[in-house]
Amino acid sequence: MDKSQEIVDLRKEYLMPCLGFFYKNPPVFERGEMQYLYDVDGKKYLDFFAGVSVMNCGHSNPFILERVINQLSKLQHLTQVYLTSPIVELAEKLSKVLPGDIHNSFFCMSGSEANEGAMLLARIFTGKKKFIALESSLHGRTNLTMAATNIPMWRADPFLPEDILFISHDPEKVLTELEEVLKNNNDIAAFISEPIQGNGGIITPPDWYFKEISKLLKKYNVLFICDEVQTGFARSGSMFAIEEYDVVPDILTMSKALGNGIPIAAFSTTKEIAASFTSPSASTLGGNPVSCTSALAVLDYIKQNNLADKAKKLGGYLREKLENLKEKHPTIKEVRGKGLMLGAELVETDGQPAFEKLDQVLEQLKDRGIILGKNGLHRNVLAFQPPLVINQEDIDFLIEELDLALGNVFG
Ligand code: PMP
């Protein structure tokens, strides 16, 4: 039996059936090297999904690896009630790159946990219970963050709390609906939103969007929690995507690319809001010396290699090429996103979401050595979210192969 089938069978036997996987014939990956992956047969792939925007600095990046291995061999774990240096060094360094006056951080393990913590903090600070979130949002798998998630397939719990009021993300409706909800409810702690919706399908609001939303939130004394779990750490062309919108949120959450593959997450806020969080709270594994060392190395690597500028420049190049493909292949309805977080929505000739054909495109690209992502409410958006260490030749290779695959599948 081949390795791929063996792993599929073991997943079926020992994991939970909720866990799906990409591809009819999925490769088994064994090794990564910056923007490239290798399967057990030694076949090389260009990674254009980065484990969902996690490996921004590349797989097994030697600069990060050296520091992490060194920390692993010195001190691995103690938990937050003991004093160690990396956690405070990281909090200090983060405060210098976070937007505006965002200053204090709490470290935990996953994006869901960071958002859950941010929502708890908003409740503590405001003394209010409810939240506003956008349609097609995704904020996590814990009880409250799943309730704030609007993508039906990611709302497994049949008994979710009813503390979230959803409004349309449509720029034509969002302000009216937001003001309506704010006017009619005096128990709202915060509005939570991704700057660019990732799983929702790289939904990218216009420039004015968050400025106008923030004005309304301030008018009604409601906090803004910005979920940068997927957008953070140079991907959008700025360190945080909300900076592209020239807005400073009250609480910012992060995970994924912060650790470049080592689990770490955080929620960060102003000194004033942080001061309200006095009841004891600590995460056993959160902010341990190894994950904080990885995050410190990530921040240094991003800065030293100008990854934000690189994402902007290469993202612009990729976008132009995708727009050209759109001219040639009418199945591409729209290209959207910022920096190296781009999406291409695929539709059938009658305008219906082309999710089955999208899977065929992904399969062909995989066979030709490219790993591309997908997302969107109807799973019909190609997601281009590579490690930020790719180069122009990688993009040219992707475009050439995508052109061929679209031609094969859509005719
Ligand atoms: N927020 C956003 C915007 C995400 O994209 C995700 C995961 N895709 C999460 C939260 C949840 O993160 P995690 O899987 O680390 O809990």
Residue 246 pLDDT > 90, yes or no? yes
Same-domain status, 131 and 226: yes
Residue 141 pLDDT > 70, yes or no? yes
Residue 287 pLDDT > 70, yes or no? yes
Query: Quick check: is 324 in a domain?
Result: yes
* Ligand 1 pocket residues where CB is under 6 Å: 52, 110-112, 115, 138-141, 194, 198-199, 227, 229-230, 255
How many angstroms separate the CA atoms of 400 and 152, rounded? 34
Domain limit, last residue, from 261, 288, 304: 304
Percent of the chain exceeding pLDDT 90 equals 99
Same-domain status, 382 and 243: no
Q: Is 42 helix (H, G, I), strand (E, B) or coil?
A: coil
Residue 123 pLDDT > 70, yes or no? yes
Query: Quick check: is 247 in a domain?
Result: yes
Residue 1 pLDDT > 70, yes or no? no
Residue with tokens 């309805």: 333
Angle (CA) 403 409 411, round 5°: 80
Query: Quick check: is 202 in a domain?
Result: yes
Same-domain status, 319 and 288: no
Instruction: Calculate the CA 258 to chain-centre distance.
Output: 11
Nearest atom, ligand 1, residue 199 CA: 5
Contacts of 389 (CB under 8 A, 6+ apart): 34, 35, 57, 58, 61, 305, 307, 310
Average pLDDT, the chain: 98
The residues that bridge with 191 in the sheet, in sequence order, are 132, 224
Same-domain status, 292 and 181: yes
Same-domain status, 39 and 156: no
Query: Quick check: is 67 in a domain?
Result: no
Nearest atom, ligand 1, residue 145 CA: 10
Domain limit, last residue, from 304, 333, 349: 304
Domain limit, last residue, from 241, 274, 304: 304
pLDDT for 65-114, tens place per residue? Answer: 999 999 999 999 999 999 999 999 999 999 999 999 999 999 999 999 99
Q: Give the residue, out of 139, 235, 262, with the most ligand 1 atoms within 8 A of its beta carbon, to mutate for a pocket test.
A: 139
Nearest atom, ligand 1, residue 109 CA: 15
Same-domain status, 84 and 211: yes
Per the rule left: phi > 0, alpha: psi between -120 and 50, beta: everything else, 183 is alpha
Separation of CA 1 and ligand 1 centre (Å) = 35
Tokens of 121: 């903090």
CA-based nearest residue to 36, from 45, 27, 28: 45
Q: Whose CA is nearest to atom 14 of ligand 1?
A: 111
Instruction: Calculate the CA 156 to chain-centre distance.
Output: 20
Strands 381-384 and 341-346: antiparallel
Tokens of 330: 């009418």
Give me the domain span that covers residue 112: 75-304
How many angstroms separate the CA atoms of 275 and 125, rounded? 9
Nearest atom, ligand 1, residue 142 CA: 16
The pLDDT score that the predictor gives to residue 411 is 84
Q: Please tell me the pTM assigned to this model.
A: 0.98
